[in-house]
Amino acid sequence: MSHDSRSNLILGICFAAFALLLIFIWIPFDTDTGLIEKVRRQITIGDALAPTVAGIFLLLGGLILILFERNAPDQPEVDPVNLGFMAVVFVLLAASFLVMRYGGPAVVALVNLSRETPLEYRLLRDSAPWKYTGFFFGGTLMIGGLISLVEGRITLRAVLIGIVAVLAMIAVYDLPFDDLLLPPNGDV
């Protein structure tokens, strides 16, 4: 096995190990509820469901790398261009998460400039349109930014795809559930 083919094996093992750590140790100790909660004959989503699903996808990706990609003949080498690309991806993700976290409070602060009685984001975080602002802007930046990065240029198409994808996530994850807060509103 060459050095290049071992890189995917090592990456797959790292992701699978992290996913197992996430699923069986981190999530159970970090959440107050399980995957699904049943309270007075009403079934609701528990705090652990979304991160557990994400952990399962990480585990599947790691296992795919371990089982199928480790012996692929065209393994990329780790070079400064690849590392630079990954650095830009991490900066883009960090900026998107910052916009997601602080976007809602920033919009409320802007609105407060023209109000006599200021609004408080913490009280608005579960009411439309306030609960969608950070998620919308941060998610659009993340998806549109990643598409633009891969294409090598910022396009209206990439931004529109980001907007449609975020609106679809809001429709799937927020609209059907009365007691679910989109990230990061549960932490604000």
Nearest CA-CA partner of 59 in 22, 15, 10, 8: 15
74 and 96 fall within a common domain: no
What pLDDT score was predicted for residue 73? 64
SS3 45: strand
Total number of domains constituting the chain:
2
Q: Which domain holds residue 138?
A: 79-188
How many CA within 13 A on the CB side of residue 127?
A: 7
| pLDDT average, residue stretch 175-179 | 73
Whether 126 has a pLDDT exceeding 90, the answer reads no
pLDDT digits (tens, 9 = 90+) for 37-46: 777 777 777 7
100 and 74 fall within a common domain: no
What pLDDT score was predicted for residue 186? 65
Stronger pLDDT, 115 or 73, i.e. the higher one:
115
> Confidence band (pLDDT; 50, 70, 90) for 187?
low
